[in-house]
Structures are given as structure tokens and as C-alpha cells.
Amino acid sequence: MQEINGNIVLEGLSRSWRMWLAGVAVLGFSVYFVMTRAGTNHDPAAEASPVVAPRGVAVSASAVRVGDLDRYLTAIGMVTPFNTVTVKSRVDGELVKVNFTEGQLVKQGDLLAEIDPRPFQVQLTQAEGQLARDKATLLNAKILLDRDRELFQQKVIARQDLDNQQSLVGQYEGTILADQGAVDSAKLQLAYSQITSPITGRVGLRLVDHGNIVHAADTQGLAVITQLQPITVIFSIPEDDLPRVLAAMKGGTPLAVDAYDRELKQKLATGTLLTLDNQIDQTTGTVRLKAQFPNDDNSLFPNQFVNARLMVDTIHNAILVPAAAVQRSPQGSYVYAIKPDNTVETRNVTVVASQGETAAITGNLKAGEIVVTDGVDKLQPGTHVNVQLAQGTATQGATP
């Protein structure tokens, strides 16, 4: 029994010893693994990298300049031709010839179409025959009148016979005038059988085909011709702007008008102000103006909508800054000016006029100074800025 117990004690001690050694081995392996991973992730270069301090607020800027500012009035206008004519027949007959193509540019007097002229030629021949017959009758009546005068002087015939013959000559002379009128009318009808263009312009779509019978009473017509050169643009401005326009027109120099596309990006044509309406539209409070354009390149088309820009005056030798540089507060307008040390300060200004992206101002600013145009929401007096000129040229201390 003792031996058995002794074996049991030795066996228990040997098992505890083995478990302790196993735990030490696991602990050592864990320490080695952790140290190995830490050595792998260690980056000496990262520890050596210095921290870069910020260089200032990034802003865009532009230089103050002195120049002239043109002031414009902009309104939506419609291109309107000077003349639009519906070509119609002035006589009745068969349309035997069409000499134009759709969309063709024609000149005044060009032959467009022809109506069968034979009926009118027959009428002319009849009228000329009647005229010739009546002229012969008149000639015979004049001969008889001369003979009656001699007989009356010889007291062969009575005074009444002479007066009757003289009256008959007058009647024949009236008949000759009527016959001449009939001849002229027949010639006119014959001329009307050839339809010519009354104006210079572009022909629209053909409304009647060859072979149809046309009438002078037809309302449709044969085609429509629209004058394109020159052409006009009619637009309206508010009545409050009318005094400025009238004052500019008194100068005697025609006012320039530019026509732009709907997006107001592409200039289509340049013309001059022709006239303005004689009354204000009470329903809209506007007055209509008409501008004339040469339209040599046909860039303007009838009934086209455009943006008309009328130049009313020019401010000379003004201090000009981008309109985006002008900030507003309850105390007034101001700009952020950049000092030589690349810090900003506020300058109070007064906006005299603005046109598009440019403003004319008065205030403590000189040509050549730099004002902030973008990034002003992050600024206050004394803020250090990192600035780039709008034209791409860096200012003093600016980063490229």
C-alpha cells in the first residue's frame, strides 16, 4: 500500500512538472510573435517625417484696373423682317410655269411664275382693233367738219349742221380715249400674267403647283417672300430705363445693339438702334424698340428669339474690379484687399455701376492692387492667404 501511494505521488509530481513547462513554452512563443509583428510594422521613416504647417487660406484674386465700362440694357427680342410679302396672282388663269425653287433667294423684279397669257393677248388684239376703227371714224369726221366750215362760210349750210358735225368729232375723240384705255387695260392684264418678285428676299414653301387654276381673289397666294437683308429685332425695355435711352439718342451717334443667342453666350450680329415706339404699353409697363442689322451672313432668321443688348452709355476712367470681389454688409459694400505680407484687410467701396462680371467702384483702392474674388467666406481682417490671380499669374508670395 505504501509503494502504491509512493508511485501515485511521484506520478502526480511528474505530470505537474510537464504542465508547467508547457505553459512557459506557450508564453515564450506568444512574446516572440508579438515582438515579431511589432518589428514588421515599425516604420522609422514615418517617425522621422516632419509635420507641415498650413500655409494660409487658398483664395482666388484679381488685380484692380482703370478703364471704361460700357453699360447695357438686355432684353429678349424677336427677329422681324422689314418686309414680308405673300405673292398672289392679279388675274385669273392657268398656272403654266413656276420659275422659283423653295428657299431660293430672289431679287426684286425676278420672274417667279407665269399664267397662260393667250386669253389676255386676244383681249389686247380686240382692243387695238376697236381703237384703229374708231381712229378711222374720227379722221373721217374731222374731214367732214373741215368741209362743213367751208360750206358754212359760203352760206351753203346752216349753222346747226356745222355744230352737229363738230359735236360728232368730239364724241369720236372721246371714243378714242376709251379705246386707248381698253388697250392699256389689256396690256396690263397681259403683264400681270407674268408674276415677278416685289422685293428681294428668300422664297418660302410653294403653296400652289404648276397646272392649277389661280384667281385674283385667292387668299392663299403662290408663295411668301421674306426680306432678310437688312433685318430688324424688336425688343422691349422697362419704362424706367426709357430716360437713359432717350438721353443717349440725343447725342446723335447711333446706339449699338448686339444680338446674342438664348444662353447669352454667343454673339450673333451687331447692329444699331433704329427707333422706338411712340407710347408705353400700359399692361406691361414697357416700351418697344427696333434695331436694324445688316445680316450679311444670314445669322438672324425671321421669328427667331434672341437676347438684345443695347449700349446706353460708357463710364470713362473708372476703377474696375470683378463683381465677385464686392461684398455687402449692413454697414455697406467692401472688398478684401491683399497686402504685401499676404494678409487681407477690408476696404470700404461704393459701387457706381455694374455690368456683367465687372463693377465700377469708388473708394480707397488703386490700380494694380489685388482683391479677393473667391474664398471670401473663410476670411477676416488679418487672415494669411495663399492667392492665385484669376489670369493665372501668381502674386507676391503666392504658390504656383
Q: What is the pLDDT of residues 82-91, one digit of tens each?
A: 999 999 999 9
Task: Tell which residue, 112, 62, 117, 123, has the closest CA to residue 94.
Answer: 117
Residue the block writes with cell 487672415: 383
Which residues in 92-104 are b (16+ Cβ under 10 Å) and which e? ebebeebebeeeb
Q: Is residue 53 part of a domain?
A: no
Q: Is residue 216 part of a domain?
A: no
Q: Is residue 135 part of a domain?
A: yes
Average pLDDT on 14-42 reads: 53
Report the range of poorest mean pLDDT among 20-34, 48-62, 109-123. Answer: 20-34
State residue 396's pLDDT score: 34
State residue 55's pLDDT score: 64
Q: From CA 271, how far away is CA 290, in angstroms rounded?
A: 10
* CB contact set of 379 (below 8 Å; sequence gap of 6+): 57, 59, 336, 344, 372, 385
Domain that holds residue 164: 117-192
State residue 314's pLDDT score: 87
Q: Each residue of 184-231: pLDDT tens digit?
A: 999 999 999 999 999 999 999 999 999 999 999 999 999 999 999 999
Q: Is residue 230 part of a domain?
A: no
Q: How many CB atoms lie within 10 A of CB 81?
A: 22
Q: Each residue of 134-164: pLDDT tens digit?
A: 999 999 999 999 999 999 898 888 999 989 9
State residue 376's pLDDT score: 86
Q: Is residue 122 part of a domain?
A: yes
State residue 48's pLDDT score: 43
Q: Is residue 353 part of a domain?
A: yes
Q: Each residue of 246-261: pLDDT tens digit?
A: 998 888 889 999 999 9
| Structural domain ending residue among the three candidates 192, 210, 236 | 192
State residue 356's pLDDT score: 79
Which residues in 20-43 are b (16+ Cβ under 10 Å) and which e? eeeeeeeeeeeeeeeeeeeeeeee
| Structural domain ending residue among the three candidates 128, 159, 192 | 192
CATH of the domain at 148: 1.10.287
Q: Is residue 77 part of a domain?
A: no
| Structural domain ending residue among the three candidates 164, 192, 220 | 192
Indicate the number of domains in the chain. 2
Predicted confidence (pLDDT) at residue 92 exceeds the cutoff of 60: yes
More confident of the two residues 5 and 284: 284
State residue 27's pLDDT score: 56
Residue 291's pLDDT band (cuts 50, 70, 90): very high
Task: Tell which residue, 307, 315, 313, has the closest CA to residue 258.
Answer: 307
Average pLDDT on 100-105 reads: 92
State residue 390's pLDDT score: 64
CATH of the domain at 65: 2.40.420.20
Domain co-membership, 65 together with 121 = no
Q: Is residue 185 part of a domain?
A: yes
Q: Which three cell numbers stand for residue 383?
A: 487672415
Predicted confidence (pLDDT) at residue 245 exceeds the cutoff of 80: yes
pTM value?
0.65
First to last CA, the chain: 98
Residue 56's pLDDT band (cuts 50, 70, 90): confident
Q: Are 340 and 302 in contact (CB under 8 A)?
A: no
